[in-house]
A and B are shown apart, each in its own frame.
Chain A
Amino acid sequence: MRETWVVGAASNRFGKMKESGREAATRVAMEAIRQSGLSPKDIGYTFVANAFGISEHQGHVGPLINNGLGIPEVPSATLESACSSSSAALHEAYVHVAGGFIDVALVVGVEKLSHLDTLAATSYFAVAADYAFETKNGATFPGLYATLASAYRQEFHPKDEMFGAIAVKNHANAARNPHAHFQKEISMETYLSSPMIASPLRLYDCCPFSDGASALVIAAKEFVQRPVTEPLVFRASARSGAVTDMQDRPDLLGIPSTRLAADKAFRQAKMTPKDINFLEVHDCFTIAEALALEDLGFLPKGTAAKESYEGLTARDGKLPVNPSGGLKAKGHPVSATGASQVVEIFEQFNGLAKGREVPKAEVALAHNVGATGGSCSVHIFSRR
C-alpha cells in the first residue's frame, strides 16, 4: 500500500444553508481542491455522502457535483452509512488511492435539512434505526441514545453536571470555530435548565439538525511530491460493524463497533491511545462522547463523564476532545460530519484553527458512528 495523504480540506458554515446541498457540496469541493494545489482534472473518483438527499428530491448527486467542477467524465458514487456516511466515503477513497487504483480522490459529504421541521427531521432520521424492531416501537435517535444514557447512569451514577461539562466544553470550542452551527458558549445553568428531549437527555445534551458540507482531497504521496499544505498522513483507516439492535446487545454500556474499529485502527497504526494528541469523536449526544472515550480505549468504563467534568478533555487539557465543538455545537449535518472531523484535524495541523489551537497537533484520531453503532469508522493521522 502506498503512503496516502489528505492534502486539502474544506467546510462551509454549518447551520442553515440558503443554497441547495448540491451547490454547497460543489463549492466546498472546489475550495478543498484549490487548497490542495491540485486541479479538478487530477481527480480519479468522487466519493459522495448524502444520506438524506431524497428530502431535497435529489439522489445521484455525484455526477452533478462533478459536472459543476468541470469534470463530468470522472466516476462517482454515493455511500450511505447513516451518520458515518462521509467517513465511509473517506475509507473507500483511502482504499482506492493507497491500493494504487487512482492517484487522487475527492470525498464530499453534504446534508440539507433545514427545510424540514422537527417532526419531519426526527422521522427521517429514525429510518436509520431498525425500523421494524425499534422505530415502529417508538424509537427516535435521541430516544435510543437516551436509553444508553439510562443504562450508564444506572451502572455508574454520574452527576448531571458531568454530562453538562461535555456540552459546556463543546460549546466553548465551537464559539471559536467559524464553521460551527452554534458559535456561542453556554453555562452549566443553561444546560441544567434546558428542557428534557428524551430523559435523561436535555436539549443541550443533543446535537442539532444542521445543514452543512465538507470536502477532502486524498492523494498518493508519490503523486503529489511537493505538497502546498501540511498533509495529514493516513496511519489507519478502519471500519467495523456490530449488532444494530439494542435488544440484541450483550450490554448497553458501550458501542461495540467502536471497540472493534479502534482495535483495528491501533493495530494498523502500530499505536496505542497514548500516542494520540487530540481527538474528534462522535458526540451526537453527550453520552456518546463519554462512551466513545471509553470504547476507544482512552479511559476505563464509567469514568469519562467524570474526567470531562474535571477538565481532562478541554482544549488545553491533557487530552483535548472535539476542539471543533463536536457534533453537539459545531453541528451534525449527518453526511458531512465524518469529513468535517478531518477538516478540523487538517486545520489544526495547518495552523488554521485560530483561537482554538490544541497544545500539540502531531497525531490525531477521528471517530464517526453510524446510527447507534451499526457502523463505526476510526481514522488516525500524523504529520509527515
Chain B
Amino acid sequence: MKGYEEGGRLRGLRCRHCGLITATWGLACSRCGSLELEEHELALRGKVVAYTILHVPGDEFLNDAPYAYVVVALDGGGQITGWMPTVKQESDLEIGQRVRYSSSYKPGVQFVKETDAGAGG
C-alpha cells in the first residue's frame, strides 16, 4: 500500500471494464469484479462532499485536533479521504469547498483550501 501517496502525487487505479476510479488498493475492481485494473494518476484538486471537525483524535493525530476529516471528490473522478490541519471549526468549512492536496510533514493525505497559499499542490 506504500506509494498511493508519494512525491506530491496521488496514485490510484482505474477499472478498464466499468471505469471506476479508486484510491483504494486491490487486485480486482470493487464495483464490477474485473481484473483489468490499470494504474491511474489521481487529480490533486477536488471538492469536499462530506466532512467532520474532529475534537477527540486517535494517537497519531494527538497534537493536531481539532482538525477536519474530509471525503473529497477529485476533479478527474474518484474520491479520497484526507484531513485538513488548518480547519479548526465547523464554520471554517462547507460541503462543496474546493480543496487541493498538499504534501504533509506526516503520513496521511492532507488537503488545504484551494485558495490557501503554502507548500504542495
Contact status of A147 and B61, CB under 8 A, knowing A132-B1, A137-B69? no
How many angstroms from the CA of A243 to the CA of B54 in the assembled complex? 24
Interface residues of A in 150-208 (CB under 8 A from B): 150-151, 154, 195-201
How many angstroms from the CA of A187 to the CA of B51 in the assembled complex? 28
| B58 on interface, CB distance cutoff 8 Å | yes
Interface residues as binary, A253-277 with B (CB distance below 8 Å gives 1, 0 otherwise): 0000000000000000000000000
Q: Which residue of A lies closest to B64 (CB)?
A: A138
Contact status of A143 and B54, CB under 8 A, knowing A132-B25, A247-B80? yes
How many angstroms from the CA of A138 to the CA of B81 in the assembled complex? 9
| A136 on interface, CB distance cutoff 8 Å | yes
B54–A252 contact, CB under 8 A? no
Residue from A133, A197, A252 having most chain B Cβ neighbours under 10 A: A133
How many interface residues does A have (CB within 8 Å)? 39
B108–A150 contact, CB under 8 A? no
Residues on A with beta carbons closer than 8 Å to the beta carbon of B53: 196, 198-199
How many interface residues does B have (CB within 8 Å)? 38
B52–A130 contact, CB under 8 A? no
Q: In the assembled complex, how far is the CB of residue A289 from the closest CB belonging to chain B, in whole angstroms? A: 18
A143–B69 contact, CB under 8 A? yes
| B44 on interface, CB distance cutoff 8 Å | no
Residues on B with beta carbons closer than 8 Å to the beta carbon of A132: 1, 4, 25
| A118 on interface, CB distance cutoff 8 Å | yes
How many angstroms from the CA of A143 to the CA of B8 in the assembled complex? 26
Q: In the assembled complex, how far is the CB of residue B100 from the closest CB belonging to chain A, in whole angstroms? A: 15
| A233 on interface, CB distance cutoff 8 Å | no
| A135 on interface, CB distance cutoff 8 Å | yes
| B24 on interface, CB distance cutoff 8 Å | yes
| A19 on interface, CB distance cutoff 8 Å | no
Q: Which residue of B lies closest to A196 (CB)?
A: B55
Contact status of A140 and B54, CB under 8 A, knowing A247-B79, A252-B49? yes
Interface residues of A in 195-239 (CB under 8 A from B): 195-201
Residues on B with beta carbons closer than 8 Å to the beta carbon of A123: 58-60
| B43 on interface, CB distance cutoff 8 Å | no
Q: In the assembled complex, how far is the CB of residue B112 from the closest CB belonging to chain A, in whole angstroms? A: 14
| B22 on interface, CB distance cutoff 8 Å | yes
Residues on B with beta carbons closer than 8 Å to the beta carbon of A139: 69, 81
Residues on A with beta carbons closer than 8 Å to the beta carbon of B1: 132-133
A154–B58 contact, CB under 8 A? no
How many angstroms from the CA of A343 to the CA of B82 in the assembled complex? 39
B108–A138 contact, CB under 8 A? yes
Residue A136 contacts which of B51, B78, B108 (CB distance < 8 angstroms)?
Answer: B108
A138–B50 contact, CB under 8 A? no
A248–B79 contact, CB under 8 A? yes
Interface residues of B in 14-61 (CB under 8 A from A): 20, 22-25, 30-31, 49-61
How many angstroms from the CA of A13 to the CA of B108 in the assembled complex? 39
How many angstroms from the CA of A136 to the CA of B53 in the assembled complex? 16
Residues on B with beta carbons closer than 8 Å to the beta carbon of A196: 53, 55, 90
B90–A199 contact, CB under 8 A? yes
Q: In the assembled complex, how far is the CB of residue A257 from the closest CB belonging to chain B, in whole angstroms? A: 13
Contact status of A150 and B51, CB under 8 A, knowing A247-B24, A248-B30? yes
A150–B23 contact, CB under 8 A? no
Residues on A with beta carbons closer than 8 Å to the beta carbon of B24: 130, 133, 245, 247-248
| A126 on interface, CB distance cutoff 8 Å | yes
Q: Which residue of A lies closest to B12 (CB)?
A: A247
| A358 on interface, CB distance cutoff 8 Å | no
Residue from A120, A138, A140, A142 having most chain B Cβ neighbours under 10 A: A138
B56–A246 contact, CB under 8 A? no
Residue A246 contacts which of B20, B60, B81, B108 (CB distance < 8 angstroms)?
Answer: B81
How many angstroms from the CA of A137 to the CA of B10 in the assembled complex? 13
Residue B58 contacts which of A122, A133, A199 (CB distance < 8 angstroms)?
Answer: A122
Ranked 9 nearest A-B pairs via Cβ: A138-B83, A146-B52, A123-B58, A151-B50, A132-B1, A123-B59, A247-B79, A199-B53, A198-B52
7 further contact pairs, Cβ within 8 A, besides A137-B81, A200-B52: A135-B60, A138-B57, A138-B82, A147-B71, A148-B50, A198-B53, A246-B71
- Write 11 A-B pairs (CB below 8 A) sorted by A numbering: A118-B56, A120-B59, A132-B1, A132-B4, A136-B60, A137-B82, A142-B56, A143-B69, A147-B50, A201-B52, A247-B22
